Amino acid sequence: MQQTSHPIVSAQNLSKRFGAAQVLAHINLDIGQGEKIVLCGPSGSGKSTLVRAMVGLEPFQEGRVYIAGTLLEPGSFIEGVVPTNVGIVFQQFNLYPHMTVMDNLCLSPVLVQKKARKEAQDLARHFLARVHMPGFEDKYPAQLSGGQQQRVAIARSLCMQPQVMILDEPTSALDPEMIHEVLSVMLAMAGEGMTMVCVTHEMTFARAFADKMIFMDQGEIRACAPPGEFFTHPASDRIGHFLTALERDFR
């Protein structure tokens, strides 16, 4: 995989508090162009807060983030304004129920990027094919399974042609039989060189997907290593216990 020497995402001394609770503590993280990063750790460790802060959906008190050419810092933070070259996929699909799949996919390219409707529709059809859903343009979200809705959500993000894709536990709201179809789409995307950051507990997927595993606990990055090293030689007993517990829970 070809990677540039300059990070496309850089968090520098990123810290966040909810009242007296420190939820992110001096996070420093660089992600290179084309890298695939998996964030893992116990519930409440700060994973989702970190990715939300990195894209402008969560204010923070200290530090700064550079992401795909955009600077985010406490003094310039505008809540909910996400860089247009960053795609986000959440646990919940967040599709507009009263709109067809085609209209869901075309909305942001037309309204935000000012693309012509025809160009947006062509993009939508292209990315629906990428997520193995050609011919679903006229369906409504209620007519789709959970796995199909999540794949539409991925296609919707791809329609913005992002430089960076953020996926926050994209399979956690799915039934077990639907998880594989979404993970297979993500693995295919990973093979095409897109920079991706994924929060997940799916460790089998993480081994195949990630260039780098990051373990968070109590708002801090406690380990950062390639998958082979991360899984074979855990950096601490805490990480070893976490991986053992995950294996037991998903057995």
The β-bridge partners of 40 are: 215
Rounded mean pLDDT, 188-207: 90
Q: Does some domain include residue 34? A: no
Q: Does some domain include residue 182? A: no
Q: In the prediction, which pLDDT does 74 show?
A: 87
Q: Does some domain include residue 133? A: yes
Spell out the residues 6+ positions from residue 20 whose beta carbon is closer than 8 angstroms to its own: none
Q: Does some domain include residue 73? A: no
pLDDT above 90 for 82: no
pLDDT band per the 50, 70, 90 thresholds, residue 148: very high
Lowest mean pLDDT among 99-113, 121-135, 211-225, 236-250: 236-250
Which among 135, 134, 127 has a CA at the least distance from the CA of 108? Answer: 127
pLDDT above 80 for 79: no
Q: Does some domain include residue 71? A: no
As for how many domains the chain has, the answer is: 1
pLDDT in tens, 113-132: 999 999 999 999 999 999 99
- Quick one: tokens of 16? 């966040």
Q: In the prediction, which pLDDT does 246 show?
A: 82
Q: Does some domain include residue 227? A: no
pLDDT above 70 for 3: no
**Average pLDDT in the chain:** 90
Q: In the prediction, which pLDDT does 1 show?
A: 34
Rounded mean pLDDT, 7-30: 94
| β 212-217/36-40 pair status | parallel
pLDDT above 60 for 250: no
Q: Does some domain include residue 7? A: no
H/E element holding 63? strand 62-67
Distance CA(156)–CA(95), nearest Å, equals 9
Q: In the prediction, which pLDDT does 245 show?
A: 87
* Residue range(s) defining the domain that contains residue 142: 97-161
Distance CA(41)–CA(201), nearest Å, equals 8
Q: Does some domain include residue 127? A: yes
Q: In the prediction, which pLDDT does 45 show?
A: 94
pLDDT in tens, 178-196: 888 899 899 888 888 889 9
- In which order are the strands placed within the sheet that holds 212-217? 86-89, 164-168, 195-199, 36-40, 212-217, 220-225
